[in-house]
Amino acid sequence: MIVFPAIDLRHGRCVRLRQGRARDETVYSDDPVAVARHWVGQGAEWLHVVNLDGAFGEGQTKSISSLPINLRRLSQIHAAVPDTPIQFGGGLRSLVDLETALSLGATRTILGTAAVQDPELVADALERFGTERIVVGIDARDGKVATHGWLQTSTVTAAALGRAMFQQGVARAVYTNIARDGMLTGVDVEGTAALAQDTGLQVIASGGVATLADVARLKQHAGAGIEGVIIGQALYTGAVSLPEVIQVTRISPGASM
């Protein structure tokens, strides 16, 4: 199971939000590149980078020659840790957005709002960039998918979106239970496992990891389609350490921690 340390970018800084609320922001670093180096030095095999400005509809780019600060940060992070793959999302709503992110160093990109509002874009992206480059973000509030940086809630259920995306050829999704994101209240293991089983997608859990026990519970479902876990707040507050989390993901089923 892959551990993805989260680097959430807001106005070029590394921050964490509570339940995705822009007004409830904690700044952890003015230097996201140093943060990336730190996580890689701690053993990270992947990074999960989110452009919160883009998710909120701010700082959109129409061409590679005009880059908002968070996209420049993506490029800088890739240059600093070129051998570490980056999963990147936030405000990617066109083929141009995807191409720009990939050209700046993203290994794969996440379509969230676009997956709900523009399924044809998902199909076009899969055809153009391939399955390994495209991930769907399924962010749910009370079972319904939220869009536009979680500011709006659709009528589509997480399971229905997941099934539709799988039928289109999507292989994996990032699933976030918004109520738990940034709250250190425990990850939604049951919801994540159910989504994987209901849809056929490989699912990356996100939101709420508070302890090593959360990670161990997710690991128990790895064979059922849970591919990884994104951890933010727990790492930044020191509730868990990255080396400890990685060790838990490598423990064989049935072994004691």
Which is catalytic among the residues 8, 97, 181, 214? 8
Let me know if 107 is exposed, middle or buried by CB neighbors in 10 A (0-12, 13-18, 19+): middle
Q: Which of 53, 97, 139, 214 is catalytic?
A: 139
Report angle CA 205, 210, 213 to the nearest 5 degrees: 80
Active-site residue flag, 198: no
DSSP 153-195: EEEEEHHHHHHHHHHHT--EEEEEEGGGTTT-S---HHHHHHH
Question: Does 142 participate in catalysis according to the annotation?
Answer: no
- How far apart CA 174 and CA 188 sit, in angstroms, is 12
Report how far residue 247's alpha carbon sits from residue 212's, in angstroms, rounded to the nearest whole number.
10
CA-CA-CA-CA torsion sign (225, 107, 50, 26)? positive
Q: Using CA atoms, how far apart are residues 219 and 250, in angstroms rounded to an integer?
A: 9
Q: Which residues are catalytic?
A: 8, 139
